[in-house]
Structure 1
Amino acid sequence: MAADSTGYFVFSLDTELATGFFDLDKERAALFSPDGSRERWSIRSLLDLMDEFDIRATWAITGHIFYRECEKCPVCPVKEWKGKYRSYDEAYDTNHPLWYGADVVEEIQRRRRHEIGFHGYTHRVFTPETMSTQEAEFEITEWMRVASRVGIEGKSVIFPRDKMGHLDLFSRHGFTSYRSEANLSIWIRNRFFGSYLKTLDHILGITTPPLYSLKGLPRTPDGMIDITESMHLKGFNWGVERILDSVNLHRLRLRRAVRGIHKAAEQKKIIHLWAHPWEFQTEKDMDKMRYIFEAVSEEQTSGRLQSITMSALAEKAEQPL
């Protein structure tokens, strides 16, 4: 079968627990459960749905949560948080379940269908302005070190907070793909009414998320393949979402995503959806994902679409079309 004979569904998950908010004490306290139990429920529930519908995903995991407890590493970036953020007291010399997630990694690996990719070692932003080459090298090699302890060789990169940088280093270390942000329309970027148009579009499904052709995927000079996002599944006004949830119209706002899935299958294109696992906090949220995965499953059964990880898609892009 030729690599471009079907469409492709890519689903990537920025998996961080509390490390994604290490420098945002107030937001972290408001968003996460005290003991990490809700976040683990979210991850297990997503994995169960993926098993049910034969979905493969790229779980981009922050290196720090590979640990089971603080190991007081010789070079410890967490020490730099002391006196700046409460996260130091929560993470250093503890086994706090919001900062240590070896059990999460084990659960994802146990399902035997998913990819585990890079999402920073500490979730620092990777732009050249915020991180030196030496610091980036440390983040990459430390992530590779802790990942290798459980047999993981990273191939895909999802940058913390979607801020890209130091791609040449990733290529040098054997990574083959990364996720970049989609170019938003001028209307959605408008500071006055863009958010309202975006909300309306999600509900009515007026437009389709950006789709990409396999042969047209951009590459860096070193050959890394850019698997650009199509849509952040939870990039929606949460107030409006709660209202829709309360009147059992929770699936309504995903019409745009489902329309994109069917169009990707029809046109043999790529659709790349993404989210953070912690964003799925209720049974209604899981039913939204069931709605998404039902659409993918329907197209997979018809033979028009494949669910695929980022690294596997990068391999497809290297094949003759």
Structure 2
Amino acid sequence: MGSVVLSIDAELGWGFHDFETLPSERVEAGRRGWPALLELLDEYDVPATWAVVGHLMLDSCDGVHADHPAPEGWFERERTEWRDREDLRFGRDLVADLLEADVDHEFASHSFSHVLFGRPETDRELAAAELERSAEIAADWGQTVESFVYPRNDVGHRDVLAEYGISAYRGRSPTGDGVRGIVDSTVRNRSLLVEPTVDEYGLVNVPASLFLFGFEGPARTVAEAVWRDPMVAQARTGIDEAIRNDGVCHLWLHPNNLTHERDDERMRAILEYVDRRRAETDLTVETMADVARRLRARGSVDGGTVTA
């Protein structure tokens, strides 16, 4: 049985708050892309793993977070430049829309404040605080978190994830993202399939196959003018490969990647293809939690010996 996994990093301003120079179009696009993506997923009945930054579920805060062991200055933009930008700091309305969607999406964690877990300054105390705070807020919303998506795919402190009841995480793509990923999967003919495995902490690593917005700017415009959207072509290749080989193709993106109508059309084309191939074959759509449960149902999870 081949399967497609779609994971979504839902973060609004938190994905960029530590940037010195902000990508303004992406920052402002989060609230545009979130409902657009939900609508498309509803239209094609495709469940996804939505990894949500916990801070978005708060209704207010002081911008200081004195009880949080973050590095000095971590919340500075929230207190200063974004003090009056609640639309970037909070997203209770968007989270409510997600939980009320017709499709049964997985609610996952993207940390509390988009801390980078693989950085040296992120010690165990900070990693634990990010997970604990996120879990508490999720529980207030009646949600139990099984999966975790590392901010910027910066993997670290997997033992802490296990301690806080996480079952699965998204590992790095073996082919890389962006232009490198396209070169590896086309020119070098590397597979877009990934092999979920259980690590030494009992966590299921569901690696990414393809970032759906890794080929942008002038190169994308030229490619679309002379051929077709290269990311749609790559996604279709991965989906077909999953069907042929009974494998897993794991696609991912952010709501803020949907900045214009052509981005919506990219997602429509990919989701329409998933829906069509699902009707024609035994292709299934899984969440990250689904993959973790499937691996556990197949046998022991000790020592990373179980694979999809």
TM score, norm. by length of structure 1: 0.83
What runs of 5+ residues in structure 1 fail to find an aligned partner?
1-5, 189-193
Match of 1:210 in 2: 192
The answer to which of 9-18 and 235-244 deviates more is 235-244
Q: What is the CA-CA distance between 1:130 and the residue it aligns to?
A: 2.4
What runs of 5+ residues in structure 2 fail to find an aligned partner?
300-308
User: Secondary structure at 2:249's aligned position in 1?
Assistant: strand
Match of 1:47 in 2: 38
Q: What is the CA-CA distance between 1:105 and the residue it aligns to?
A: 0.7
- Matched residue type, 1:99: R
Q: What is the CA-CA distance between 1:289 and the residue it aligns to?
A: 0.9
Aligned residues: 297
- Matched residue type, 2:116: V
Residues in 2 aligned to 1:79 and 1:183: alpha-carbon distance in whole angstroms: 31
Q: What is the CA-CA distance between 1:32 and the residue it aligns to?
A: 2.1
Q: What is the CA-CA distance between 1:163 and the residue it aligns to?
A: 0.8
> Where do 1:86-97 residues align within 5 Å?
86-91=77-82, 94=84, 96-97=86-87
User: Secondary structure at 2:40's aligned position in 1?
Assistant: helix
Q: Determine which of 92, 99, 114 is the counterpart of 1:102.
A: 92
Residues in 2 aligned to 1:236 and 1:276: alpha-carbon distance in whole angstroms: 14
Q: What is the CA-CA distance between 1:313 and the residue it aligns to?
A: 1.3
Deviations 1:255-275 (Å, cap 9, x if unpaired)? 121011011012111000111
What is the root-mean-square deviation of aligned Cα atoms in Å?
2.8
Distance 1:91 1:145, change over 3 A: farther
Residues in 2 aligned to 1:201 and 1:258: alpha-carbon distance in whole angstroms: 16
Match of 2:201 in 1: 222
Residues in 1 aligned to 2:181 and 2:197: alpha-carbon distance in whole angstroms: 26
Residues in 2 aligned to 1:201 and 1:219: alpha-carbon distance in whole angstroms: 25
Match of 2:211 in 1: 232
Match of 1:138 in 2: 129
Deviations 1:13-46 (Å, cap 9, x if unpaired)? 111111011111422435322xxxx422211111
Given that 1:158 and 1:179 are in contact with CA atoms closer than 8 Å, whether structure 2 keeps it comes out as: yes
Q: Determine which of 154, 178, 197 is the counterpart of 2:169.
A: 178
Distance 1:274 1:50, change over 3 A: same
Q: What is the CA-CA distance between 1:124 and the residue it aligns to?
A: 1.2
The reply on whether 1:75 has 2:67 as its aligned counterpart is yes
Identity of aligned residues (%): 26
TM score, norm. by length of structure 2: 0.86
Given that 2:53 and 2:111 are in contact with CA atoms closer than 8 Å, whether structure 1 keeps it comes out as: yes
